[in-house]
A and B are shown apart, each in its own frame.
Chain A
């Protein structure tokens, strides 16, 4: 992936920028030593690295505002960073940028059970939001797989999803308000403890804008009471197409599971070797989870099993206890780790209409043969979000590029069948140059026009989301003006 050439004029101002930042932040919150800034050189897309010019760790909204105002005045690009778990390179710095990390902002500001909301600083991790309310039986629904580490700030930036979004939605459906700092330092409040913020849906626009519109420092989130219980059923099939038809029949029957997970044979084989979850060796495996009281769960699982039986499964295993549930989930939860044992992998994130699943899997298989790279498929089958894991060898020259080419072909296929490039990871730099595949020039211009309103100088995370050729004239206005 190409990144814009760092602006030497900005780098030449480093000493002055550091001095001004030190004027508004505690000494230890401004990191500018070249060894120390390496800690911020990449996020979870580790193939791309570049230390920032400076990293700052503000503790309050006012400090964030001061930092942004200074960077705005100095014309320095700012890359906001949550916990750095982005798989898309959303927090990748450039050498002329300031990384603004929100890690020190992790307080719970207010917990309000009566109104079922929690207000937090956005450096707080996803799981610790649930941690703050679970002793009272509540939880925060979006559950990205990095939830132990990922920050709410990043969840909002990427509109993160998770395995349970078929029932509970993704971040945007659970976000009720934000305090956000614009690039010029202005602090804006949108929404709050009430449903449906007034006026234009700025909240919906901010969520998923990949840190390009502002830095969100506080969030009001919807919390829910936990269900009485949850249990899955595991169903194995000898054919992908049949598994796909089974998913469709379950949904049509009026059962709304909280999760429908799908794994294909390469993935089943890898996880079995790694986690020994006792999965059947078959072409396709479904894990369908439902919630409610024990009796309600039994009723729903019986309905699902009845539908599955019509499709001649090779295995059907209803969980009867917490231990059995854990065993069924064990393989799925270790799928990424299992694939990582075999080799380096790239995790894709395209979404497809559920009806296209068999065709897409067949085509991915053909591409795998063509590129000579193995691929395993994990899939949130209820909502169409695929996670093909392409195996490659990072130490073998040319393998990463080959893998990226393969990945790009898969994502183009997702768009071709009526889906999209990314379901929950975001565009970042990873899918930036594929945006032309999904969007025409007018579509991209409409989106970039939004950034023009929030950040006219294009200083916030400027080299992400939009193909560099499409955003070039906007990004270079600032340079030309100097």
Chain B
């Protein structure tokens, strides 16, 4: 439709007579129901103050453009958003609005927080066509309800983002990764937990059962990284694992692959993403019926590859967390639902919120509804 202004977005929402599929770059595998309403034309950084660690951009601004602008000032999006394209086989340009609408966070989520923790303010158009603003461009803001957080991870079901303000962080001088070899799932997760229970500020903690590698990332000033790696080695000597260190670019590449789930890119099957208590991870993965898996977030995030159409949730049973179906054919996504079933109380509240923000029920209809 070629929407290039917030006014045009308002007009498009008001004119909608049926379901609309809200999209940024359309790279995140969200099934489209109805006419596509893309904000990709709302493009551009409107304000960037490196000294205040804030950037404001229109929702359709490519993530790559923002990352490039930040890199010039030696800053970055610290929550390390995943690029879904190679895993899902999607094309298109990931947008900052899409990142926020799907609350996409990478390995660094365990130390700095999720995408939603970096979202300072939003402008969005609700289902009535009203432009709503909430939050702002300052880091501390408790003025009224935090609709900013509500919009993050709402997958366009409450409104269409038109502008986002973000907190950014300095890019550390360097990074390095300590790799432990030969640990099984339980011992790997235990080692990650041990590292995170230290004062050494681990910013990445992953375990890959396939090649029995347990990875710990440290970032900061060069001398600091060397010191902390040394201390972590000492700490983890009790595991008996062989260890080696990957520095700078090699380390960066490892986490890039972890972030984008590179291990499953050319593999058959459905892809699931489970958020759980880290210590529950190994038992959950083993009982899930999946064919292959690996752990990020110190075990608190499990990426699993399962046979097409397999209902992973039935294998997981009741647990402290939730499972999202990230990659599957449209029929499977429709049958199992992308998102985990909610308890009755939560489902009632979320349905109420959807009715408030999108009374006509047109935005990404059915996406976050309960599978009956």
Query: Which residues of A are in contact with B by a Cβ distance under 8 Å?
Result: 112-117, 137-138, 158-159, 161, 165-166, 169-170, 172-173, 182, 186-190, 192-205, 207-209, 225-228, 247-249, 251-256, 292-293, 295-296, 299-300, 351-355, 380, 383-385, 418-427, 431, 435, 438-440, 442-447, 449-454, 465-466
Contacts and interface: CB of A to CB of B under 8 A. Distances in A.
Contact of A438 (B53, B140, B143, B301): B143
Given A254-B173, A419-B136, A204 B152 contact: yes
Contacts of B169: 256
B297 interface: yes
A449 B342 CA distance: 22
A189 B117 contact: no
Contact of A384 (B134, B138, B355): B138
B15 interface: no
Interface stretch (B26-34, B36-44, B195-203, B253-261): B195-203
Given A115-B279, A424-B140, A201 B116 contact: yes
B138 A383 contact: yes
Contacts of A438: 143-144
B49 A201 contact: no
A449 to B, nearest CB: 4
Interface in B94-143: 103, 105, 109-110, 113-114, 116-117, 126, 130-134, 136-143
A202 B357 contact: no
A169 B109 CA distance: 13
Contacts of A165: 139-140
Nearest to A190: B346
B320 A225 contact: no
Among B133, B143, B169, B343: residue with most chain A CB under 10 A: B143
Contacts of B137: 353, 418
B7 interface: no
Closest 9 CB pairs of A and B: A204-B149, A248-B51, A198-B322, A423-B140, A453-B352, A254-B170, A188-B345, A194-B321, A193-B277
Interface stretch (B206-214, B221-229, B237-245): B221-229
Given A419-B136, A454-B349, 6 more contacts: A195-B110, A198-B324, A252-B74, A254-B74, A353-B54, A427-B144
A418 B193 CA distance: 41
8 contacts: A114-B193, A115-B277, A188-B349, A198-B342, A227-B199, A249-B51, A354-B52, A465-B145
B20 to A, nearest CB: 19
Contacts of B87: none
B114 A200 contact: no
Given A196-B114, A198-B339, A204-B116, A295 B227 contact: yes
Contacts of A355: 49, 51-52
A251 B170 CA distance: 7
B141 A423 contact: yes
Interface of B: 49-54, 73-74, 103, 105, 109-110, 113-114, 116-117, 126, 130-134, 136-150, 152-154, 157-158, 169-173, 190, 193, 196-199, 201, 220-221, 223-224, 227, 275-279, 297, 300-301, 320-322, 324, 339-340, 342-343, 345-346, 349-350, 352-353, 355-357, 368
A201 B141 contact: no
A225 B198 contact: yes
A299 B368 contact: no
Nearest to A226: B199
A258 to B, nearest CB: 12
A253 B368 CA distance: 42
Contacts of B339: 198-199
B149 A173 contact: no
B97 to A, nearest CB: 16
Given A252-B73, A295-B227, A195 B297 contact: yes
B143 A255 contact: no
B52 A248 contact: yes
Nearest to B274: A194
Among A115, A193, A252, A385: residue with most chain B CB under 10 A: A115
B45 to A, nearest CB: 16
B338 to A, nearest CB: 11
A166 B199 CA distance: 18
Contacts of B346: 188-190, 199, 202
B275 A194 contact: yes
B219 to A, nearest CB: 11
B134 A351 contact: no
A450 B130 CA distance: 16
Contacts of B54: 353
Contacts of A452: 356
Given A158-B142, A173-B117, A208-B145, A353 B52 contact: yes
A445 B173 CA distance: 46
Contact of A201 (B103, B190, B343): B103
